[in-house]
Amino acid sequence: MEPVKRKAGRPPSKTLAEKPGPPLRITVDADRALTKEAKKLKMSKGKFASAAIVYCTELGIDPTAERVEGVASVARKVEAGVANVRTHNADIGNRLYALTRGFEKTLYLFMQQQQQATYSYMENIEGNLLQHLVRLERHMLEPMLEQIMRAKFDAYTARIMAERAFLESAKQPVTNWKAMHDKLSEERDQMLLADLRQHVENHLMPTPQPTPEPSVTSVPPKPVVPVINSPPTTPKQ
């Protein structure tokens, strides 16, 4: 029995062509969106509409009551969250700034009180020292200086009387008193100068050294924040 010969033409398709359904009426906006999306996906409007209807039917989605949240909705939620975080950050920053200002004010008042108390204490010490020096000068130094000056004049008077008595006992003219007085004064000054030099050499006073300035602590460098590299993410299979 011979096989049946087929007519020449198009090769048989693997899938059977779907039968078109009855025509539907859609709105102008829906037609524009359908045309745009079908053109983007390079398919016919009927095929895109059929796939959309089947998708909503299989998932049980009511397009008139529910809307699937897309990228725009997620972006709006993210923006709202970011704005909320910024508000909280500003509030925390204001609180920290107010806390720092309050601590700074309290510390400044405390340091000012300590400074005033220290200045008052130093002024009292200075006043006591000055009063003590005045009393010491009035009750001790002035009488001592007065006695020294009186002893000086008494010694000078006794010296003149002794020199003249010596001239009278030696039966020398009084006119020689001036020469003998100058000679004795010169010898006394030389002895006094030698005695002062020897006293200075035996009692050397140390030279005061300037007080070294305190070393200023340098500002510590800013800490280096370590960079933490996140591990590479493996793509999902």
Can you tell me the distance from the alpha carbon of 202 to that of 70, in angstroms, rounded to the nearest whole number? 104
Residue 107 within any structural domain of the chain:
yes
Domain boundary among 142, 170, 198: 170
Is pLDDT larger for residue 19 or for residue 60?
Answer: 60
Q: Which residue has the higher pLDDT, 54 or 214?
A: 54
Helix and strand totals (H; E) in the chain:
5, 0
Domain coverage including residue 111: 74-170
Within this chain, do residues 33 and 117 fall inside the same structural domain, yes or no? Answer: no
Are residue 81 and residue 60 in the same domain, yes or no? Answer: no
Residue 10 reports pLDDT greater than 70: no
Highest average pLDDT, of 55-64, 130-139, 175-184, comes from 130-139
Q: Both tokens of residue 147? A: 């006695």
pTM of the entire predicted model: 0.34
36 and 123 housed in the same domain? no
Query: Taking a C-beta distance cutoff of 8 angstroms, is the pair 68, 74 a contact?
Result: no
Between the alpha carbon of residue 176 and those of residues 79, 162, 189, the distances in Å are 122, 14, 20
Does the residue 163 lie in any domain?
yes
Are residues 157 and 86 located together in one domain of the fold?
yes
* CA gap 119, 132 in Å, rounded: 20
Q: Are residues 64 and 78 in the same domain?
A: no
Mean pLDDT over 172-191 rounds to 80
Looking at the fold, whether 53 and 82 belong to one and the same domain comes out as: no
In a shared domain, residues 58 and 140: no
Q: pLDDT at position 208, please? A: 65
Quick one: 126 and 166 in the same domain?
A: yes
Q: Once rounded to an integer, what is the mean pLDDT over residues 116-141?
A: 86
- Do residue 60 and residue 86 come from a single domain? no
pLDDT of amino acid 126: 87
Burial of 80-99, coded b for 16+ CB within 10 Å and e otherwise, reads eeeeeeeeeeeeeeeeeeee
What pLDDT score does 213 carry? 64
**Total tally of structural domains belonging to the chain:** 2
- Indicate whether 235 pLDDT > 50: no
Same domain, 140 and 81: yes
For 186-199, write each residue's pLDDT tens digit: 888 888 788 878 87
Tokens 């725009």 -> residue: 72
